[in-house]
Amino acid sequence: MNGHKIHITCINGSSIDGRITDVHRHFHQWSSQEDQKFLKSEIKKADCIIVGYITYKRSVNLLKNKRTIVFNRRNIKYLGNNIYFIKPNRKTLFKILHSTQSRKALVIGGMNTYSWFIKQNIVDKWYITIEPYFFGTGLPLLKIKEFKPKNARLESVKRINNKGTLLLKYSINK
Ligand X SMILES: NC(=O)c1ccc[n+]([C@@H]2O[C@H](COP(=O)([O-])OP(=O)(O)OC[C@H]3O[C@@H](n4cnc5c(N)ncnc54)[C@H](OP(=O)(O)O)[C@@H]3O)[C@@H](O)[C@H]2O)c1
Min dist CB 53 to ligand X, Å, is: 4
**Residue window 39-78: x/- pattern of binding to ligand X, with contact defined by CB under 6 A:** -------------xxxx---------------xxxx----
Q: Which stretch binds ligand X (CB under 6 A): 13-21, 89-97, 145-153, 158-166?
A: 13-21
Decide if residue 169 touches ligand X (CB under 6 A): no
Identify how many contiguous H helices and E strands the chain contains and give both numbers: 4, 10
Please count the residues of this chain forming the interface with ligand X, following the rule CB under 6 A.
24
Decide if residue 111 touches ligand X (CB under 6 A): yes
Contact (CB, 8 A) for 157 and 148: no
Smaller CB separation from ligand X, 3 or 40: 40
Bridging pattern class, strands 152-159 and 166-172: antiparallel
Min dist CB 165 to ligand X, Å, is: 12
Alpha-carbon gap, residue 65 to 62, rounded angstroms: 9
Decide if residue 20 touches ligand X (CB under 6 A): yes
Alpha-carbon gap, residue 42 to 47, rounded angstroms: 10
Residue 108 sits at the vertex; the CA angle it makes with 105 and 114, to the nearest 5 degrees, is 95
| 7: Cα separation from own chain's centroid | 13
Among 68, 85, 88, 170, binds ligand X (CB under 6 A): 88
* Element (DSSP H or E) covering residue 116: helix 111-120
Which residues contact ligand X (rule: CB under 6 A)?
Answer: 12-13, 20-21, 25, 27, 52-55, 71-74, 88, 108-113, 115-116, 139
